[in-house]
Structure 1
Amino acid sequence: MTVGIVSYGAYIPKYRIKTEEIAGVWGGDAEILKAGLKVYEKSVPDVDEDAATIAVEAARNALKRGKFDPQRIGAVYTGSESHPYAVKPTSTIVAEAVGATPDMTAADFEFACKAGSAAVQVCMGLVGSGMVDLGLAIGADVSQGAPNDALEYTAAAGGVAFVIGKEKSELIAVIEDTYSFTTDTPDFWRREGQPYPGHGGRFTGDPGYFKHVTSGAKGLMKKMGTKPSDYDYAVFHQPNGKFPERAAQLLGFTPEQIKPGLVVPKLGNTYSGSCLMGIAATLDIAKPGDRIFATAYGSGAGSDAFSILVTDKIEEKRKLAPSVQQLLADPIYLSYGKYAHHKGKIKFG
């Protein structure tokens, strides 16, 4: 049975902080950091924004673009590594906010930066089996980075929602197939009660990101009998600007194929929303018949790869909600002090 994307919606807070602003506080060399990370600024949540409010806004934009009855949603899954509650689901907040029926299933997902893509896969299974009509899969984060840690230059805020369905007359894109690759590679972690994550630097690149992204991508292409030149666009998880560029090169994709979805330089790493944000940015400009290859990565570690075929329905739905580039436009820049306040880095009492 054909399963795919009925609609999508993104949300990015309007606040930003530039790399040189953070570097200036800690004595770092901004030019070296920007050249090494290829991240020039990142999004910052407002003082009253968290993963739940971001997920709600992304979901609302998906409903605007989809123009369907929210009562048809039979599953809501929110992937995040910054859920506002340790015990209280984010997904029930989203479901009620968008007007979904209470006759549904909901749960929160965690798998570092690929929790959102895992939610997409589960919704694909539920929709494909006929258990639900539509599934709402979300990746949203207000990601954490300790003061003066390398993550502070990239850890950003944002979210993306995908509505998964099977009615061909509604699909803006068909998900042709998916493939996952998973191991126990401890490159990144945060224990209960700890405000900031830890990371094993020497595991981050080759044993973590590149092994899993390339293995997941190659696995899907082998499964489908496709190759990089069969795709118009490609999206890879974006912890920084350099990693997806190298992943594309290792796999045989061109800079032109990844350019539309490479939003991290002016956004930062939205963690569970990262790869989904790249897919959303690509759907914003893709034409009917275009094929998109995407591979999400989550530390700990695993990857989810997707092959996506855009349909002619994209033309009538695309402009019904803000594009990723529109959400990135007209930012409000913060000083480090204001940023620290927004992120709750300043503690009182």
Structure 2
Amino acid sequence: MRWVVIVAVVALGVGVPGPAFAWAERAREACRITDPAVTEASGLAALPGGGYLVENDSNPEPRKTRLFYLGADCRVTRSVGYPTTARDPEDLAVDAKGTVWIADIGDNSPLTGGSGKRRDTIALWTLAPGAKSMKIHRLRYPDGTPRDAEALLIDGQGRPVIVTKDPSGEVFRLETPLPTDNVEGAPLTRIGRFEATHSGTSNPFGFLGGSFVTGAAVSPDGTRAVVRTYADAYEFDVPDGDVAKAITTGKPRVTPLPDEPQGEAIAYTPDGKDFLTVSDQAGPVSILRYPVERPAPSPSPSPTPTEAAKQADRGAGPGEPGPGRQGKVALLTGAFVVVAVGLVAAAARRARRR
């Protein structure tokens, strides 16, 4: 009887959904950045025609904190400096119009390894196609409390969305027109929180590394968005362009990004199929490419009762598909469960008669 019970439990467990983890193939190196000018790359984007964009994190020498254009081989082809000092650039994005956005939103506290300096405003820098210099746009959090953040997304309406670095990062969006060269920061609106699960993916920062938000990106067609931690990438469907809603209320697919030295950047490939990442480190560093598995398109709607009856009457003839593989598995599993439960009940009755 003990074996029958075990079989029944296993059978009943078949089909119980587990975590939505998309275990990608092992990452491969897209190219390796060796130019010493590119240090502590904390933001990354792929260019449609090939090549990449990266931006430096804060640098003791302000002139070395720049936006770098890289070829497909990761060699620097040109760079653009900031008109004034950038305090702590942490992410970048390229919108549907080709404008480059740099998120000068870092504010490292002692908790996240910084000096504890706090800033009243944060900034976004934009570089429009063909422009020779960047423009600055200052923002502030609605309650006036400084926060450390490293993730920027641009939604379907061209609105910037910022996710703070702290565990269960807060999600903010700019609802008003984007100001330019302003002194006082335009207020952001709090939308909700992004919730990271503690997946257990190996990373240099252990338990907390799976919670800290370090980067984000939107797919080239705008239908998906990804938020990353030091350990994993969380991808959401964005059916209506509302990125903030998707990452605060949607169900993600999780792709592990194991053992990246200090993974703080993520981007989509130009075709939107794979993820690209890079670590915020000094010295030569690789851009990694992760092939990502995604669910197949949803099946066609179930037939109406009348249509189902007609199909049952005529059967599945030549050219008419019978039950699919998943349907057959489900039928076999159901039959197995029924038989197993019947055997359990019969064994119980025999035990009572004894």
TM-score with structure 1 setting the length: 0.28
Q: Greater RCO between the two (CA within 8 Å, min separation 6)?
A: 1
Greater Cα radius of gyration, structure 1 or 2: 2
Higher-helix-fraction structure: 1
| TM-score of the aligned structures, taking structure 2 as reference length | 0.27
Structure whose residues are more often strand by fraction:
2
